[in-house]
């Protein structure tokens, strides 16, 4: 029954995407300013900034060095000399990502601003930003793209993550927009805003998930958020399970804290269809899985537990989604990698039970950990 329901939702999204396929990008070149906050991003900063500076839609790039202790400042100053007038380098004491974004906003002169991360590759040879801009021109106040995965130099875990990440983001955020009126988040790695809107609402560092807090603040104030599935960016993934655990813990606990901060949204259409389903599915799924797996272990041991945890129909579905990612990334290895995506299901279940509920009750978050960065070759 669950698989059939999931497939029905997929069919709805496919029909919607087909109807939107003829949407054309808005080709207003040099009409967007970009802000890139950077904290200890030395290994990957040059590639990220270079791609943005080569993007025809970008007028200027504002990079805020948020008190880095590595060579981020040196890399940024060196690049500013090469791109004088196009790259604005801002150095400050560490304030947090929200503070860095607001500092960068002081230098924006364009009517719309694109936000991304220093570990994220934004392709300069496609019209991704043009599709975001088309949504802004159609009346959106903020629009999010699809943060996929950078697989350059990536190991096993990033490939597993990438196998389902792109199709699941498209599926979830499109459904949230259709049912809840807006996607639940405008990702900090791929979001475009009307500059006046961003200045009116502003980022804060009261949570460790400033993009989620901002997105829900915009919804609460009546601004229009949209999801665009024609703009893809490629942030780096974690290569170790420890870093992945910490990152997901930050996301999930931050999600819980945002629910406390924005509790008035919960009974609204947005709350019922964009916020609550992810929490309910995670908690109900975790409890149900424990009960079913325990029953299977009592009946037949480890073999029955594996068969219950990895049913054939589920494997077929995830490997089909893995095929979508494999075509997008041009990596056939993502198809078998999708079979291991249960790792992330179990990860989410465990963190919701161990930390998410606690964050919902206490409103406290763990310290923000910095994942390791991988150096990229600049084309």
CA 277 from centroid of its chain's CA atoms: 18
- CA 257 – CA 252 distance, rounded (Å): 9
Share of the chain above pLDDT 70, in %: 92
- Whether the per-residue pLDDT at 67 is higher than 50: the answer is yes
Whether 70 and 45 have beta carbons less than 8 Å apart is answered as no
Q: What is the token pair recorded at 218? A: 């915009």
pLDDT number for residue 377? 43
pLDDT tens digits, 130-143: 999 999 999 999 99
* pLDDT level of residue 379 (50, 70, 90 thresholds): very low
228 Rama class: left (phi>0) / alpha (psi -120 to 50) / beta:
beta
Most confident by average pLDDT, 224-233, 288-297, 367-376: 224-233
Q: CB under 8 Å to 149, separation ≥6 — which residues?
A: 158, 161, 162, 165, 166, 234, 235, 237, 329
pLDDT tens digits, 271-325: 999 999 999 989 888 887 777 666 656 666 555 555 555 567 778 889 999 999 9
Handedness of CA 298, 304, 310, 313 (dihedral sign): negative
pLDDT tens digits, 73-104: 999 999 999 998 899 999 999 999 999 999 99
Average pLDDT of the segment spanning 213-219:
98
pLDDT number for residue 306? 52
Beta bridge partners of 350: none
- DSSP, collapsed to helix, strand or coil, labels residue 229 as strand
Work out the mean pLDDT of the chain and round it to a whole number: 91
Average pLDDT of the segment spanning 234-242:
94
- Whether the per-residue pLDDT at 228 is higher than 80: the answer is yes
Whether 252 and 281 have beta carbons less than 8 Å apart is answered as no
> Nearest to residue 30, comparing CAs of 54, 47, 51?
54
| Host H or E run for residue 66 | strand 58-66
């Amino acid at each position: 029954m669950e698989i059939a329901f999931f497939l029905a939702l997929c069919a709805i999204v496919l029909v919607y995407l087909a109807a939107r396929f003829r949407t054309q990008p808005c080709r207003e070149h040099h009409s967007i300013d970009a802000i890139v906050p950077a904290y200890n991003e030395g290994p990957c900063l040059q590639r990220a900034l270079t791609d943005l500076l080569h993007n025809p839609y970008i007028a200027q790039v504002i990079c805020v060095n948020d008190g880095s202790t590595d060579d981020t400042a040196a890399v940024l100053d060196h690049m500013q000399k090469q791109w004088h007038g196009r790259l604005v380098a801002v150095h400050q004491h560490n304030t947090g990502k929200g503070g860095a974004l607001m500092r960068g906003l002081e230098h924006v002169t364009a009517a719309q601003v694109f936000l991304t991360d220093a570990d994220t590759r934004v392709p300069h040879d496609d019209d991704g930003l043009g599709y975001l801009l088309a949504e802004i021109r159609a009346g959106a106040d903020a629009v999010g793209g699809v943060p996929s995965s950078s697989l350059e130099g990536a190991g096993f875990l990033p490939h597993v993550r990438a196998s389902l990440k792109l199709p699941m983001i498209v599926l979830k955020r499109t459904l949230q927009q259709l049912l809840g009126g807006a996607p639940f988040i405008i990702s900090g790695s791929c979001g475009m805003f009307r500059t006046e809107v961003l200045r009116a609402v502003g980022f804060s560092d009261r949570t460790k998930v400033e993009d989620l807090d901002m997105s829900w603040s915009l919804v609460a104030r009546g601004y229009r958020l949209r999801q665009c599935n024609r703009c893809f960016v490629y942030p780096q993934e974690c290569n170790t399970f420890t870093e992945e655990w910490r990152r997901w813990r930050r996301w999930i606990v931050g999600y819980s804290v945002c629910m406390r901060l924005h509790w008035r949204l919960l009974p609204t259409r947005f709350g019922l269809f964009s916020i609550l389903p992810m929490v309910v599915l995670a908690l109900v799924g975790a409890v149900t899985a424990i009960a079913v797996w325990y029953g299977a272990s009592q009946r037949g041991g480890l073999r029955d537990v594996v068969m219950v945890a990895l049913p054939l129909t589920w494997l077929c579905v995830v490997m089909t989604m893995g095929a979508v990612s494999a075509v997008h990334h041009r990596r056939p290895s993502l198809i078998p990698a999708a079979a291991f995506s249960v790792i992330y299901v179990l990860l989410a279940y465990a963190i919701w039970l161990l930390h998410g509920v606690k964050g919902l009750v206490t409103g406290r978050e763990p310290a923000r950990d910095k994942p390791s960065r991988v150096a990229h070759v600049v084309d």
